[in-house]
Amino acid sequence: MKKILILPGDGIGPEIVAEAVKVLDRLRADGLEVELEQGLVGGAAYDAKGHPLPEDTLAQARAADAILLGAVGGPQYEALERPLRPEQGLLGLRAELKLFSNLRPAILYPQLAEASTLKPEVVSGLDLMIVRELTGGIYFGQPRGVRTLDNGEKEGFNTLVYRESEIERIGRSAFEIARKRGKRLCSVDKANVLEVTELWRQVMERVAKDYPDVELSHMYVDNAAMQLVRAPKQFDVMVTTNMFGDILSDAAAMLTGSIGMLPSASLDADGKGMYEPIHGSAPDIAGQGVANPLATILSVAMMLRYSFGQGEVADRIESAVGKVLDQGLRTPDIAAEGQASVGTAQMGDAVVAALD
């Protein structure tokens, strides 16, 4: 029996997670062998226990096979000192569980193609996955800081560093994912300028030998940024460093124009993962019952595919989401101007009904 830790978090977190739990309950009734446990993270954990990542939550997370997280944060926590802010709950979980592989799909359901700022024919049906290295690179490299030079001028510095072992594990993670999708992997680097990414390219080539069924290509990051907005449908899976992935995955997400639709995953070396929508806690609409629960429901699909090896059940959830969009159901964030909309619970119920 697989164990899922449910961490609703703050703002709209509890509302959207409740709908994802409805989907899981429906699948359990059909024989999916998972058990659910609830925990506290972020501002909710700070309010109850004085810390955004209490020890017992961490213990629950370690014991779980996968984690479903809503969102954390809110204006009431912004004055707290940094270690007590809700975001530290998320960062702490990533670090403690060694979740080094961040999967950020950008999927544009054809029914929502009008929501993109790009022409519908460029983005309709887009389905790409960016695999971002999450625990290394320039965001963590030492030395780092701001120092004062002899002439009194200040100088800021960071270090871009990757070991072969770090590149190899993110490479393997990406090849495994490409294998479960269209079997094409594009590794994004700046090998013409940065030695670190020259090594990155060499290691990717080496790992590729173990995945003869996956086609590997390389692209410089500046070109990749251009290609993402010019012809994004050329990509299946992209793999890249922490900072390049941070930037490219946000650009790719925005191609779809609907933040309420996009799930994400962060995996460790054994495929254990934390799954969450890419959006935040949306305090502006929290408590109103209008948040879009689809990104969270699609996060459950990712969990089933990537942590539990249940690709068929994942397909079933994704096609249920497609069906409710076909039926014309829209939460306000994805409704066209003048189009009627439904609330969070109604959308969740419709997905559950469409699973049949």
In angstroms, give the least distance from the CB of 267 to ligand NAD: 16
* Residues comprising the chain, all counted: 356
Output the CA–CA distances (angstroms, integers) from residue 267 to 95, 194, 278, 293, in the order listed.
11, 27, 15, 22
**For residue 114, what is the DSSP state?**
G
Taking the C-alpha atoms of residue 81 and residue 77, their distance in angstroms, rounded to an integer, is: 9
Considering CB under 6 A, how many residues would be counted as binding ligand NAD?
22
Is 259 one of the binding residues for ligand NAD (CB under 6 A)? yes
CB of 355 vs ligand NAD, minimal distance in Å: 20
**Smaller CB separation from ligand NAD, 24 or 262:** 262
Contacts of 27 (CB under 8 A, 6+ apart): 34, 313, 317, 355
Catalytic: 56? no
Per CB under 6 A, does 291 bind ligand NAD? Answer: yes
Q: Which position among 56, 222, 315, 326 bears the catalytic label?
A: 222
* DSSP 8-state code for residue 260: G
Q: Residue 292 contacts by C-beta under 8 Å, 6 or more apart in sequence? A: 16, 258, 260, 261, 331, 333, 334, 344, 347
* Beta carbon of residue 87, minimum distance to ligand NAD (angstroms, whole number): 6
Strand-strand pairing, 34-38 and 66-71: unpaired
State the binding string over 185-224 for ligand NAD (x if CB under 6 A, else -).
Answer: ----------------------------------------
Say how far apart CA 186 and CA 209 lie, in whole Å. 15
Residue 65 among the catalytic residues: no
14 touches ligand NAD by CB under 6 A: no
Catalytic residue among 109, 190, 236, 333: 190
Catalytic residue among 65, 246, 268, 333: 246
Place of tokens 């700022």: 117
Residue 111 CA to residue 152 CA, distance in Å, equals 58
Return the number of the residue (9 or 137) whose C-beta is nearest ligand NAD: 9
Interface with ligand NAD includes 74 (CB under 6 A)?
Answer: yes
Active site residue 109: no
DSSP-assigned letter for residue 109? -
Q: Decide: is 52 part of the binding site for ligand NAD (CB under 6 A).
A: no
Q: Which stretch binds ligand NAD (CB under 6 A): 91-99, 288-296, 306-314, 348-356?
A: 288-296
Q: Does 281 sit near ligand NAD (CB under 6 A)?
A: yes
Stretch that binds ligand NAD, among 27-35, 70-78, 112-120, 315-323 (CB under 6 A): 70-78
Binding of residue 292 to ligand NAD (CB under 6 A): yes
Query: Rule CB under 6 A: is residue 53 a binding residue for ligand NAD?
Result: no
Alpha-carbon distance of 168 to 269, in angstroms, equals 11
For ligand NAD, the closer CB: 198 or 349: 349
The contact pattern for ligand NAD, residues 313-352, with x = CB under 6 A and - = no contact, is --------------------x-------------------
Q: What residue ranges in the chain does DSSP mark as E strands?
A: 2-9, 34-38, 66-71, 101-107, 127-133, 145-148, 154-157, 184-189, 215-220, 237-240, 263-267, 273-277
246 catalytic? Reply is yes
Cβ neighbourhood burial of 216 (10 Å; 0-12, 13-18, 19+): buried
Contact map string, positions 86 to 125, toward ligand NAD, x by CB under 6 A: -x--x-----------------------------------
Nearer to ligand NAD among residue 81 and residue 284 (C-beta) = 284
| Residue whose structure tokens are 């959308």 | 347
Which of 23, 59, 11, 8 shows the shortest CA–CA distance to 294? 23
275 is catalytic: no
Instruction: Kindly list the catalytic residues.
Output: 139, 190, 222, 246, 250
- The binding site for ligand NAD (CB under 6 A) comprises 12, 16, 71-74, 87, 90, 259-260, 276, 279-285, 291-292, 295, 333
